[in-house]
Amino acid sequence: MPVTFTFGEFLGARSVIGSTLAELGEDRENLFVLTPDIGATLVEFRDRFPDRFIDVGLAEQACVGIAAGLAYDGNIPVVSGMLPFLSMRALEQIRTDICYPNLPVKIIGTHGGLVGNGGSTHYAVEDLALMSALTNMTVTSIGDPLMVGEIIRQSMSMTGPLYIRLAVGKKDMVLYEPGQHDIRIGKGIIAREGTDLTLFTHGTTVAQALAAAEQVAEAGISVRVVDMFTLKPIDEELILDSAERTDGRFVVLEDHLAYGGLASRIADVIADRRLHLTAFERLGIPQVYAGFGEDEQLRDKHGYGLSATVSAIRRAHAA
Amino acid sequence: MAELEDLAFELRSKLLELCGTYEGAVHIGGDLSAADILTVLFSYGLRVDPTDIAAPDRDRFVLSKGHAAVCMYIAMAIRGFFEYDDIVATYGQLDSAYGMHPCKVQLPGVECSTGSLGHGLPLAVGMALGARHRGETHRVVTLLGDGETGEGSVWEAVMAARSNRLGNLVAFVDRNKQLMTSFAEERVMFEPYPDKWRAFGWNVVEVDGHDMGALVAAVDALPDPGSEVPTVVICDTVKGKGVDFMEHNLAWHAGSLGAADLERALAALGASRTKESV
């Protein structure tokens, strides 16, 4: 019996991963779950399918290579772990062993962005740039915990690799009630309709974008909020539509380096499609190693918190 | 045995011919060191069928030392997978299926795309796990260069293989003791090499990698694929084996032979065979 949650409630994306994989494992005997010692999320799958749960210990490179070997033989491997290590230490295995032969391996992990207070070794802030550079890779970043389950389900029929980025995944805000939106890999979600400008974002900052839109609405500014949870392939049509419907005013907000992530992917579309924008503001992590602090504190400190988002909206609106 | 030795000689001759006609680099040193091992695997040890390359019960082979691709292509051609003439006619050219490192997308007869070192053993572990899960009894065999066992990912996979009790996994190591730019022990202390594998819990077999009888015996003595301990066959080899001016010569990691040098190399190969059969 599905448990329903409504907007504003909190739920752990990790528990959704575990329960979804355990559910999918029932019908799919070729579903394997692998982890480099970050398996707490996967307890339900591990307990139900111990022979298809592989914890290699602290060995990200072998973990990804073993997943590729399984996929070569017709299996569907899901690798789960902390993204700073999977996306960088095992980058070449992801590129060479998975993307090159275009194998259906899913990489799903936590600690995307300045989350978790682990310090800069434990923040994945370059990961979307790295993953987006890889041929055949589909790249997603998800904020809504229920969406995680939906995307994992959809991914079972994908023929190539998939990257799913989460924040810490212990307490995530429910953004969309089930059935409210058509959620499809490759298509952005209009999380809030608006007419003056479009605020593009993904992952954990969608909630902040909605809060900023709510704040400026009181001042009469109408913001369309687009949850561009698939960064690659990017929803070009939605970008074109947003340019047309919101007067060529764009703000991009993301918990990733300000250059190399979603803002850069949108900028590519703008250049390739020769869009003439009125405003383009990008909010993200500057070229710093961020240090310690809670998520909101770090966003404020580094210039992409709620008040900075509101300021960027006002600047774009006034342009 | 004599038949396998003939096939290994044929493999080396064809390697040299390709090295003589192709103007770009061929990894001839490491191809020649692996020639006997790949002959034994493709013409004797591996349960494979060139007319049914996707047979579910086939043994899987992963060329971890991907730069020995030519040696594998020709060993497979001798076994009937491909036409040698196609390899030599198109090697390295635009749209050819045959190039410096194997690509499964371009050449479906090979199991994996490899080339970056230290990747093959993890891939083989994944394949062996998949076979175990489905209750299949084939083996997964990989060939590593000893130099690439400097990569940390190899030892990650060594641990994973033992931890998952993969007796259906066999690693051959082409222990030619040369890296690209140096003799291995000058730069990296690999020895005591077999002890390193033993310490990780593997079944270790040591053979002369150019002694066909010893290689066949090693293959025959492999544990049952249903057993729990993975096996490594450490093959003592010589880089450039069979061509005197290439043996133990750092200049011949990779290269190409002109027409005159091809004659010289083929003569040296013939002489080495005569010498060994005396």
**Helix or strand holding residue A189 (H, E):** strand A189-192
Q: Kindly list the distances between the CA atom of residue A298 and the CA atoms of A160, A204, A215, A281, in Å, as whole numbers in the listed order.
A: 35, 14, 21, 19
| B-chain residues near A91 (CB < 8 A) | none
Q: Length of chain A in residues, anyone?
A: 319
Rounded to a whole number of angstroms, the distance from the CA of A46 to the nearest CA of chain B is 15
Q: Which of A91-95, A158-162, B253-257 is predicted least confidently? A: B253-257
The mean pLDDT of chain B is 95
- Per-residue confidence (pLDDT) for residue A3, from 0 to 100: 55
- Provide the H-helix boundaries in chain A: 13-27, 43-48, 60-72, 83-88, 91-93, 127-132, 145-155, 206-217, 236-245, 262-272, 295-301, 306-318
* Topology at the third CATH level for domain A10-173: Rossmann fold (3.40.50)
**Which one has a higher pLDDT value, A107 or A15?**
A107
Domain ranges in chain A? 10-173, 189-318
Beta-strand pair A106-110/A162-165: parallel
Q: Which of A13-22, A106-115, A292-301 has the lowest mean pLDDT?
A: A13-22
Q: Which of A39-53, A56-70, A223-237, B224-238 has the lowest mean pLDDT?
A: A39-53
Widest distance between CA atoms in chain A: 59
**Overall fold of domain A189-318:** Rossmann fold (3.40.50)
**A53: how many CB neighbours lie within 10 A of its CB?**
19
A191 phi and psi, to 5 degrees?
-75, -25
pLDDT of residue A1: 42
Neighbouring residues of B93: CB distance < 8 A, sequence distance ≥ 6: none
What pTM value is reported for the model? 0.95
Tokens of B145: 């260069």
Structural domain of residue B58, as residue ranges?
Answer: 2-277
Cα B23 to Cα B18, B88, B254, B262, B265: the distances in Å are 9, 12, 12, 12, 16
Q: What is the CATH number of the domain that holds B59?
A: 3.40.50.970
Alpha carbon of A50: minimum distance to chain B alpha carbons (Å): 11
Helices (H) and strands (E) in chain A, counts: 12, 14
Q: What is the pLDDT of residue A184?
A: 96
Least confident of A58-62, A155-159, B122-126, B258-262: B258-262
pLDDT confidence tier of residue B260, bands split at 50, 70 and 90: confident
Please list, in sequence order, all residues whose beta carbon lies within 8 angstroms of the beta carbon of residue A24, skipping any fewer than 6 positions away.
A31, A152, A153, A156
- At B213 the three-state DSSP class reads helix
Q: Note the residue count of chain B.
A: 278
Task: Tally the domains of chain B.
Answer: 1
Q: What are phi and psi of B101, to 5 degrees?
A: -130, 140
Closest Cα to residue B171, out of B215, B231, B120?
B231
Q: Looking at residues B243-256, what average pLDDT do you find?
A: 91
Q: What is the pLDDT of residue B275?
A: 76
Residues of B within an 8 Å Cβ radius of A = 60, 62, 103-105, 111-113, 115-116, 118-119, 121-131, 133, 152-153, 156-157, 159-160, 163-164
Same fold, A10-173 and A189-318: yes
Predicted pLDDT of residue B127: 98
Proportion of chain B in helix, strand, coil states, percent, rounded to 5: 45, 10, 40
pLDDT in tens, B71-110: 999 999 999 999 999 999 999 999 999 999 999 999 999 9
